[in-house]
Chains A and B, each alone.
Chain A
């Protein structure tokens, strides 16, 4: 076909990228200049003509369509479904849920007023924040430490085996992680069993609301801390050995080399992961908490996500639950954008470039 021989011009590709030669400095003026540059680049590429480019690239566009369609259907269209947050939505008004959405009465902000008046919501919010901070303090440093440890192991075989073992739990389902913890800390677990055999009283740490938040954090560490080291190891492997040699020549010992070379190499990665974590602060382990909600009770385990689930899926109060979900979504979006802004101010890259 003649179309397929039209080159996907290098020039077009290069010009399409932002500010090819360093670009003007940041700031509003810089942004405007960059926009101009991009627009003129668009014109250059446009010289080929839309028809010609479409003919050339239509296979590529066709290839993306199944995924794009699925993303539109399951990521974008449901966003519109959030209108039920402003309704007294009743799915039984019609056979079809869509039609019911247009027949349900509008209630304005009533759902939101009910949520803010519900102490259960504030309690769930509080639990969410407590869990987020526990995870940040108790979980976050562990992968960094483990990565430094693995990185200092020089025998390749020992390294490979240690990594294989540490990555393993990441691939387990939450159901498996919770049931595994049950076998250790539960009422019939190995600890309680051993205690009983030695004449003590058995303990059941799985259903104790007092320590539940620590238990949840421990489950998270067991499952994912090992996997978390992978990004740090990659950052560490990109550090030039010459730096270490030069530092050693200058008399820096083991610890000073770690402080002045290794840790600075990890800084951007740590910053990025912190930004991501803070941006996602309201998500603290939905499946994990939902699985244990029955055994420990909502008092200790209810977070925003499970609150939405309980009110929407269980109690079928869809408008109310959608409103709670919408609050979480909007606050979450704000958190992501703020966290990125802070990262940019700190001179780190964040999730997206400016």
Chain B
């Protein structure tokens, strides 16, 4: 006879609470209300500013003028600010630079980090303890801004996109997270592949990496966000304004309120609201991050914790 398993006929809704253990007291009304209120307030504090930015970027000049600036309740819809920004000019170029640096940098960082993490992840391999120490020690000291700046200059990297990638290409923390994850892969799997004749390259590519998709996604996101958000290195290593990435252009246009090069006529003749343009630049900076990070969210805990503690 087959065992009969009990399955509830009506599956609880996805928002419903799971059954409460019998020993737990029922929550008080006040407690529930307090929790709900706190969570709502926190979400409001985070989302309301973003709402204003996004809404204002999509409003016509008339709506913005009527509201006297930022718009909270949308009254019109137009993509004119984005259209103007993305048909050539300073912001479009900066966005392309940022996308390029982010893609190239992330690919480079991931390649270097995954190789290093795997190279250090096989227990008992020659010298891995020394190499690990070499990496770990960097977490205790920083060389300092000035010597690093002088080094990048002496290497001739100024006014090159390499200056935005190479100095920050390796994050020891990220390597440690990857390494801890690789070490968690069952050694039997790797040994059997070795017996079947696979070398280390092949084991990494065909066994370790496919099994580590979660952590690879998290670390890629960390690196990508790092490159996308960076502005300081560009501000000290690049002198050519045409090479500046999006964040630096955002400092000029939004924080310092300069007029975007090339759009001055549209703004001065009153076709385009400068505020909508500023908000559109901000949306361009936040959109990729806001869209990508929730997808990787479920892996955060795993990715963050396997590495950090084990060392």
Q: Is A127 an interface residue (CB 8 A)?
A: no
A176 touches B286 (CB 8 A): yes
Q: How far is the CA of A80 from the CA of B144 in the complex (A)?
A: 11
What is the interface of chain B mostly: helix, strand, loop, or mixed?
A: helix
Stretch at the interface among A27-35, A117-125, A321-329: A321-329
Stretch at the interface among A128-136, A209-217, A248-256, A258-266: A248-256
Task: Report B290-311 CB contacts with A as 1/0, cut-off 8 Å.
Answer: 1001100100110011000001
Task: Report A148-163 CB contacts with B as 1/0, cut-off 8 Å.
Answer: 0100111111101011
Q: Is B167 an interface residue (CB 8 A)?
A: yes
Q: Is B99 an interface residue (CB 8 A)?
A: no
B231 touches A173 (CB 8 A): yes
Q: Is B142 an interface residue (CB 8 A)?
A: yes
B39 touches A67 (CB 8 A): no
Residue of B nearest to A311 (CB): B146
Could you pull out 20 A-B pairs where Cβ atoms are within 8 angstroms? A56-B126, A59-B200, A60-B122, A62-B119, A67-B115, A68-B131, A78-B151, A79-B147, A82-B147, A84-B146, A91-B150, A97-B154, A146-B42, A154-B18, A156-B18, A171-B290, A175-B250, A249-B23, A286-B232, A353-B311
B138 touches A75 (CB 8 A): yes
Stretch at the interface among B3-11, B64-72, B79-87, B258-266: B64-72
Task: Report B13-26 CB contacts with A as 1/0, cut-off 8 Å.
Answer: 01111101101110
B126 touches A78 (CB 8 A): no
* Interface size, chain B (Cβ < 8 Å): 103
Task: Report B37-75 CB contacts with A as 1/0, cut-off 8 Å.
Answer: 011001101110110110000000000000011101000
8 A Cβ contacts from B130-179 to A: 131, 134-136, 138-151, 153-154, 166-167, 169-170, 172, 175
Tell me which residues across on chain A come within 8 A of B38, comparing CB atoms.
149
A79 touches B141 (CB 8 A): yes
Q: Is B255 an interface residue (CB 8 A)?
A: yes
Residue of B nearest to A12 (CB): B124
Tell me which residues across on chain A come within 8 A of B282, comparing CB atoms.
176, 179-180
Q: Is B210 an interface residue (CB 8 A)?
A: no
Interfacial residues, chain B to chain A (CB-CB below 8 A): 14-18, 20-21, 23-25, 35, 38-39, 42-43, 45-47, 49-50, 52-53, 68-70, 72, 111-113, 115-116, 118-120, 122-129, 131, 134-136, 138-151, 153-154, 166-167, 169-170, 172, 175, 191, 194-195, 199-201, 204, 221, 225, 228-232, 236, 247, 250-251, 254-256, 279, 282, 285-286, 289-290, 293-294, 297, 300-301, 304-305, 311
Residue of A nearest to B249 (CB): A175
B116 to chain A, nearest CB (A): 3
Q: Is A93 an interface residue (CB 8 A)?
A: no
Tell me which residues across on chain B come within 8 A of A249, comparing CB atoms.
23
Residue of B nearest to A254 (CB): B25
Q: A180-B53, A313-B236 are in contact. Are A171 and B293 (CB under 8 A)?
A: yes
B123 touches A16 (CB 8 A): yes
Q: Is A70 an interface residue (CB 8 A)?
A: yes
Q: How far is the CA of A250 from the CA of B199 in the complex (A)?
A: 58
8 A Cβ contacts from A155-210 to B: 155-158, 160, 162-169, 171-176, 178-184, 188-190, 193, 196-197
Q: Is A63 an interface residue (CB 8 A)?
A: yes
Q: A67-B113, A332-B142 are in contact. Are A78 and B148 (CB under 8 A)?
A: yes
Which one of A158, A290, A318 contacts B232 once the chains associate, using CB atoms below 8 Å? A290
Q: Looking at chain A, what size class is its interface with the partner chain?
A: 35 or more
Q: Is A296 an interface residue (CB 8 A)?
A: no
Q: A175-B251, A180-B49, A312-B145 are in contact. Are A61 and B35 (CB under 8 A)?
A: no
Tell me which residues across on chain A come within 8 A of B143, comparing CB atoms.
74-79, 81-82, 329
8 A Cβ contacts from A294-339 to B: 294-295, 305, 308-309, 312-313, 318, 321-322, 325-326, 328-329, 332-333, 336-337
